Amino acid sequence: MANPFSLEGKVALVTGANTGIGQGIAVALANAGADIAAAGRSEPTETKALVEATGRRFLSIKADFGSTEPVQRVIDETVAAFGKIDILVNNAGIIRRADSIEFTEADWDAVMDTNLKVVFFLTQAFARQALKQGPVNGVAGKVINIASLLSFQGGIRVPSYTASKSGLAGLTKILANEWAAKGINVNAIAPGYFDTNNTEALRNDADRNASILARIPAGRWGQPGDLGGAAVFLASPAADYVQGITLPVDGGWLAR
Ligand SMILES: NC(=O)c1ccc[n+]([C@@H]2O[C@H](COP(=O)([O-])OP(=O)(O)OC[C@H]3O[C@@H](n4cnc5c(N)ncnc54)[C@H](OP(=O)(O)O)[C@@H]3O)[C@@H](O)[C@H]2O)c1
């Protein structure tokens, strides 16, 4: 029987793969057999070396996902290089922290645009390409959105982030409803507290760091590699009948 977790022969586009969670997922998908296109605004030098060490091909695409401008070009460049695209990981995202009473319109718009608006239109462009390619064994494409615990909870001092990630969980469901029968799986992963640039301010605040750690049953922050298995699963044939979920990978945080 074929390995249901194999991504052999697949092409995955990962946004924001130069660092953190995106890098961890790109390397995990490559280890499972996928070639990787990495789209982002910083050069993914380290990720390129890690992916190529697995024997898979790697393409870097310059793109600033602060607006929808690069969306179609990113899909086109991936297809031009690899001939097709099978998997999209919407990972690039930002966070802005301030009390809601003084939160600015600029911090609202920047986060909503990158974390939600651009994700929708990149996913739309991916789906159009996947449908043009047509299904193989009933599957035309796999979308994995990187959501958050704030897709389920409120958080504090991050109003646009919570709105964007709660919106992303909803978007994951509506797109699954519309596209499941067309052979496109749309799912999300909700990382818990991971040790990346995104959470540096929390780790540097001794009180927040201690209260976060106290609530994590696993007793530690997540490392980007901790998400690899969930990403490979959702991208693989093993998850062909999984639609519209937001899968927490959180060391037990939500069970608390
Ligand atoms: N760390 C956590 O605990 C945690 C928890 C839940 C969800 N997440 C989500 O996980 C995802 C990855 O975050 P991370 O924790 O790995 O943080 P990170 O290290 O800050 O990575 C964020 C990535 O997004 C890219 N990015 C941001 N704005 C961009 C733009 N306008 N155009 C292109 N790329 C852009 C960054 O590129 P640059 O390096 O160029 O800035 C970077 O590659 C985000 O969606 C985040 O919300 C993180």
Q: Answer whether residue 171 is part of any domain.
A: yes
How confident is the model over 157-213, as pLDDT tens digits? 999 999 999 999 999 999 999 999 999 999 999 999 999 998 999 999 999 999 999
Q: Is the CB of 46 under 6 A from ligand 1?
A: no
Q: How many domains does the chain have?
A: 1
Query: How far does residue 92's CA lie from ligand 1's centre (Å)?
Result: 5
Q: Answer whether residue 208 is part of any domain.
A: yes
Q: What is the pLDDT of residue 164?
A: 99
CATH of residue 112: 3.40.50.720
Q: What is the pLDDT of residue 34?
A: 98
Helix (H, G, I), strand (E, B) or coil at 50: helix
Q: Answer whether residue 149 is part of any domain.
A: yes
Tell how many helices (H) and how many strands (E) occur in the chain: 9, 7
How confident is the model over 201-224, as pLDDT tens digits? 999 999 999 999 999 999 999 999
Q: Answer whether residue 112 is part of any domain.
A: yes
Query: How far does residue 136's CA lie from ligand 1's centre (Å)?
Result: 31
Q: Answer whether residue 6 is part of any domain.
A: no
Of 250, 237, 124, 140, nearest to 199 by C-alpha is: 250
| Catalytic residue from among 65, 82, 120, 161 | 161
Q: Answer whether residue 180 is part of any domain.
A: yes
How confident is the model over 66-81, as pLDDT tens digits? 999 999 999 999 999 9
Q: Answer whether residue 4 is part of any domain.
A: no
Parent domain of 224: 11-255
**Whole-number Å distance between alpha carbons of 246 and 146:** 9
Q: Answer whether residue 2 is part of any domain.
A: no
User: Could you tell which of 43, 74, 94 is best to mutate to test the pocket of ligand 1, judged by most ligand atoms within 8 Å of the CB?
Assistant: 94
Active-site residue, 193 included: no
Of 190, 142, 186, nearest to 165 by C-alpha is: 190
